[in-house]
Amino acid sequence: MAVAPRYQVISRDLTGQIGSGQLSAGDRLPSESELAQHYGVSRMTVRQALGQLESDGLVVRRHGTGTFVGEPQQRRRRANRVGPFAEEMGVEQADVTSQLLEQTVAHPPAEVAAALGLHPGQAAVRVHRLRRLRGEPVSLQDSWVPLLLAPSLARDGLEGGSLYRTLREREGLEVTRAEQEVSASLATAEQARLLSVAEGSPLIVIARTAYTGTGQLVEVAHSHTVPTLPLSLSLER
């Protein structure tokens, strides 16, 4: 199983503390030296973690005074992370619920079959879910996984409502990398009904192909997200 970089572990821990209210807006975080000692890492690692929190809009670093928890902002979906939906959102798992709309074995559309590398006639498992953030519908996710790669998906439900957790725990497939394309579309009548928006409303579309650490392609997915949940990207040189 791939181990996350230490700065990401620290960033996630501090994000959890902010999301749960242990750290409130305006609170000053411990100094870099104190955090380095607490986590048993170098100050450079702590600096990377704080940089990630700053790019996510969760903290504000003030020269000479320290790092402070920022004011609550509109939630954003981070499109540069691979993980559970709650983690992409930077919220507690309890804030996110998933309604399973469909989990069936079927022959995927031609473009999906080609992306999965399936031969004619080979089936895949479709997992179609509606994501809610604190009760509000925000995203529809349509995932396809080759049947021969994860046959248990054809028989059993999802572990904790998570596809990636199910692939990891039941099939030994750890998703560690994904390629994504972002575009836009107009909501169909069915999408509008499920997302509680007007038909023809703009939606953010993310097309994802997900891989294990060994390069095994395990999922082709398309998500349609309401624009009130914007994407956040962190770029480095």
CA distances, 220 to each of 111, 114, 234 (Å): 10, 10, 23
Helical (H) or strand (E) element with 132: strand 124-133
Half-sphere exposure of 15 (CA within 13 A, CB side): 24
Q: Which long-range contacts (CB under 8 A, 24 or more apart) does 186-190 make?
A: 187/224
Cα–Cα distance measured from residue 79 to residue 206, given in angstroms and rounded to the nearest whole number: 9
Burial (Cβ within 10 Å: 0-12, 13-18, ≥19) of residue 107: middle
Nearest Cα residue to 211 out of 180, 175, 170 = 175
Quickly count: other Cβ atoms within 10 Å of residue 185's Cβ.
13
At residue 74, the pLDDT reads 47
At residue 222, the pLDDT reads 95
Q: Is the pLDDT of residue 157 over 80?
A: yes
Range in 46-60, 72-86, 111-125, 198-212 the model is least confident about? 72-86
- Domains of the chain from N-terminus onward: 6-69 (1.10.10.10), 77-232 (3.40.1410.10)
pLDDT tens sequence across 73-110: 545 555 555 656 656 655 556 677 889 999 999 999 99
Q: Do 7 and 32 form a contact (C-beta atoms < 8 A)?
A: no
Average pLDDT over residues 7-24: 84
Average pLDDT over residues 155-164: 87
Q: Is 81 left (phi over 0), alpha (psi -120 to 50) or beta?
A: beta
pLDDT band at 64 (very low <50, low <70, confident <90, very high): confident
Q: Is the pLDDT of residue 26 over 90?
A: no
Rg, C-alpha atoms of the chain: 19
pLDDT band at 233 (very low <50, low <70, confident <90, very high): low
pLDDT band at 205 (very low <50, low <70, confident <90, very high): very high
Angle of the 32-39 helix axis to the 43-55 helix axis, nearest 10: 110
At residue 95, the pLDDT reads 73
